[in-house]
């Protein structure tokens, strides 16, 4: 007799047999193996307005043993967190003080979206244009990047299907 950790029922050893395993006996009973998990997992919501205090990237709303908090989207590489208090009714959209400027957004996007070995990003295939429009509520990324290029803050080179953005 053995207890199944999934359904918590004590069953005969025969119900744990699995020919695919070396030992021939699994941890979970045959009934539970065939059953799909019906619980819906909570998806973490990325906050576009809350910025990590350590690295400046977007934060993700998470739930830990001490309650809800914002954790860095780059975890485990960055362990920045912001605690949310129970009586803190902070709305993500109303917290504009941590929102990046358009120049900061473009520069961070170039650094974070470029592939290893590349010095720049393709505006379309990297998803930069969509991310920019979403973060800045529909602002045109073409106008902003052209303005930054005229100011000498980034370099723009034409590429197939879009342009490449480089840091100066």
Query: pLDDT band for position 163 (50/70/90)?
Result: very high
In the DSSP assignment, the letter for residue 150 is: H
- Residue position matching structure tokens 């902003």: 144
Q: Please state the rounded mean pLDDT for residues 68-93.
A: 75
Do 158 and 122 fall within a single domain?
yes
What is the span of the domain harbouring residue 14? 2-34
Query: pLDDT band for position 37 (50/70/90)?
Result: low
Q: How many CA atoms lie within 13 A of 9 on its CB side?
A: 11
Do 91 and 108 fall within a single domain?
no
pLDDT the model gives residue 44: 61
pLDDT the model gives residue 9: 87
Residue 87: what are its φ and ψ, rounded to 5°? -90, 5
Q: Which residue has the higher pLDDT, 84 or 49?
A: 84
What sign does the CA torsion over 142, 52, 54, 125 have? negative
Mean of all residue pLDDT scores within the chain = 82
* CATH number reported for the structural domain that contains residue 141 in this entry: 1.10.10
Query: Degrees (nearest 5) of the Cα angle 73, 94, 108?
Result: 35
4-13, 33-42, 74-83, 147-156: range with highest mean pLDDT? 147-156
N-terminal to C-terminal alpha carbon distance within the chain: 69
Q: Name the token pair of 12.
A: 């005969």
- Domain count for the chain: 3
Q: Please state the rounded mean pLDDT for residues 82-98.
A: 60
Do 130 and 160 fall within a single domain?
yes
pLDDT greater than 90 at residue 156: yes
Do 110 and 162 fall within a single domain?
yes
pLDDT the model gives residue 30: 84
Do 48 and 85 fall within a single domain?
yes
pLDDT greater than 60 at residue 75: yes
Do 50 and 84 fall within a single domain?
yes
Q: Which residue has the higher pLDDT, 88 or 163?
A: 163
pLDDT single digits (tens) 5-35: 888 889 898 888 888 888 888 888 888 887 6
Do 50 and 85 fall within a single domain?
yes
Residue 107 falls in which region: left (phi positive, over 0), alpha (psi -120 to 50) or beta: alpha
């Amino acid at each position: 007799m053995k207890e199944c950790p999934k359904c918590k029922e004590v069953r005969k050893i025969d119900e744990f047999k699995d020919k695919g395993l070396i030992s021939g006996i699994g941890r979970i009973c045959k009934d539970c193996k065939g059953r799909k998990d019906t619980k819906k997992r909570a998806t973490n919501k990325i906050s576009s307005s809350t910025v990590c205090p350590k690295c400046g990237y977007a934060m993700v709303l998470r739930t830990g043993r001490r309650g809800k908090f914002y954790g860095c989207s780059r975890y485990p590489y960055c362990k920045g967190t912001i605690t949310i208090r129970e009586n803190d009714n902070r709305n993500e959209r109303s917290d504009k003080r941590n929102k990046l400027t358009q120049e900061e957004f473009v520069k961070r996007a170039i650094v974070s979206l470029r592939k290893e070995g590349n010095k720049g990003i393709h505006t379309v295939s990297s998803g930069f244009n969509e991310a920019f429009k979403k973060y800045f509520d529909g602002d045109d990324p073409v106008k902003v990047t052209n303005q930054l290029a005229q100011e000498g803050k980034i370099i723009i080179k034409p590429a197939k299907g879009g342009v490449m953005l480089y840091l100066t």
